[in-house]
């Protein structure tokens, strides 16, 4: 395996993974020209997103008796940290020694007031390519004021190869039996609903194509992981539902045999089927269309800063945010 990471946005630009015969394919969508990652048409391909990933309703939240207003860059809502979120800044990178394999640590200081958020946040992302062929991503952060934090990796996977067309024939298992329904602006309503008997049920592995036609617009929904169900306000300390990563999802391409297991410490995962990608010119002359990739973004729940029944995303001074996601590849 081989991974290419850019200091711009912490982007996973290429991820080369062998099939059963050892043939390498790049399995993430992206661009050859790094300048394209900074524009509105970047689709956050492969990027680190934050300070708060996903949507905040109406770009407003209250904290410690004060109202904070953010840029509304997704209809009426704030999305993925604002107009210049973590995906569009330069991170300081350094190779580090790590017992599990090759490792890179990226660091970014988000100043008090940046994109409307309180507190100076010092964030790090550590990428580790283990000798067993697992790509580990560890997000950490500290702050000098109370602030919401939800830092996420936003890669689009196509296990047949980034240029192979639709990924809807991939099969998917999700270790989550509840999800958070959306309002008309794609913000969670605050409800936590069972997937049983709905097209959101991936507790038994099946093809994405089999059920996507029953979901208007396609999948772009947060799943409650690890059987937490209606007890969503379980103990989540500084971004983690557990200390050790647990299986969140399994994605499989029947043609190549490549299989991706996603393990995480986060309480939620956004399953997104690239519904808005259309005629995007990507790497090597590839053209990405609707459903060209699958996002499995482990995260805190969207709009949690305004939904007090959801696990908290507030980080305070003296605390450390930590969120780990591991991408384990195999052939099966």
Residue 40, pLDDT score: 86
Residue 193, pLDDT score: 94
DSSP 312: P
Residue ranges for the chain with pLDDT beneath 50? none
Instruction: Confirm whether 154 is a catalytic residue.
Output: yes
Contact yes or no for 80/44 (Cβ under 8 A)? yes
Contacts of 181 (CB under 8 A, 6+ apart): 188, 189, 191, 193, 221
**CA proximity to 49, closest of 26, 76, 73, 15:** 73
**Residue among 80, 154, 162, 221 flagged as catalytic:** 154
Residue 242, pLDDT score: 75
Number of neighbours of residue 84 by Cβ within 10 angstroms: 13
Task: List Cα–Cα distances, 234 to 134, 149, 268, in angstroms.
Answer: 29, 18, 12
* Residues found in the chain: 332
What total number of domains does the chain contain? 1
How far, rounded to the nearest angstrom, does the alpha carbon of residue 210 sit from its chain's CA centroid?
Answer: 23
Residue 227, pLDDT score: 80
Residue 332, pLDDT score: 72
Residue 233, pLDDT score: 56
As a 3-state breakdown, the chain gives helix, strand, coil percent values, each rounded to 5, of 10, 40, 50
**CA proximity to 208, closest of 247, 165, 251:** 251
**Residue among 25, 115, 140, 297 flagged as catalytic:** 297
Residue 243, pLDDT score: 81
For 218: left if phi > 0, alpha if psi spans -120 to 50, otherwise beta; the answer is left
Domain containing residue 313: 2-331
Domain at 172, CATH number: 2.70.98.10
Burial (CB count <10 Å: 0-12, 13-18, 19+), residue 181: middle
Buried b or exposed e, range 202-211, using 16+ CB within 10 angstroms:
beeeeebeeb
Residue 234, pLDDT score: 58
Q: What is the pTM of this model?
A: 0.96
Instruction: Confirm whether 297 is a catalytic residue.
Output: yes
């Amino acid at each position: 395996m081989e991974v290419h990471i850019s200091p711009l946005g912490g982007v996973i630009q290429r991820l080369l993974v062998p099939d059963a015969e050892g043939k390498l394919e790049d399995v993430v969508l992206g661009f050859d020209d790094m300048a394209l990652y900074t524009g509105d048409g970047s689709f956050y391909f492969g990027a680190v997103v934050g300070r708060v990933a996903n949507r905040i309703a109406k770009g407003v939240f209250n904290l410690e008796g004060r109202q904070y207003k953010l840029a509304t860059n997704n209809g009426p809502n704030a999305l993925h940290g604002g107009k210049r979120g973590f995906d569009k800044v330069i991170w300081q990178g350094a190779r580090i020694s790590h017992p599990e394999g090759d490792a890179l640590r990226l660091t970014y200081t988000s100043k008090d007031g940046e994109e409307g958020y309180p507190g100076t946040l010092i964030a790090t992302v550590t990428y580790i390519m283990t000798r067993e062929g697992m790509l580990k991503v560890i997000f950490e952060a500290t702050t000098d004021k109370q602030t919401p934090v939800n830092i996420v990796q936003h890669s689009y996977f196509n296990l047949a190869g980034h240029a192979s067309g639709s990924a809807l024939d991939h099969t998917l298992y999700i270790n989550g039996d509840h999800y958070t329904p959306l309002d008309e602006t794609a913000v969670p309503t605050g409800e936590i609903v069972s997937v049983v008997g709905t097209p959101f049920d991936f507790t038994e592995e099946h093809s994405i194509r089999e059920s996507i036609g029953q979901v208007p617009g396609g999948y772009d929904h947060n799943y409650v992981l690890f059987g937490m169900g209606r007890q969503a306000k379980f103990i989540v300390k500084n971004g983690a539902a557990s200390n050790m990563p647990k299986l969140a999802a399994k994605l499989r391409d029947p043609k190549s045999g490549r299989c991706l297991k996603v393990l995480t410490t986060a309480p939620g995962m956004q399953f997104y089927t690239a519904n808005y990608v259309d005629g995007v010119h990507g790497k090597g002359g590839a053209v990405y269309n609707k459903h060209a990739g699958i996002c499995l973004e482990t995260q805190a729940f969207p709009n949690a800063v305004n939904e007090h029944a959801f696990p908290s995303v507030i980080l305070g001074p003296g605390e450390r945010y930590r969120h780990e996601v591991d991408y384990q590849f195999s052939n099966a």
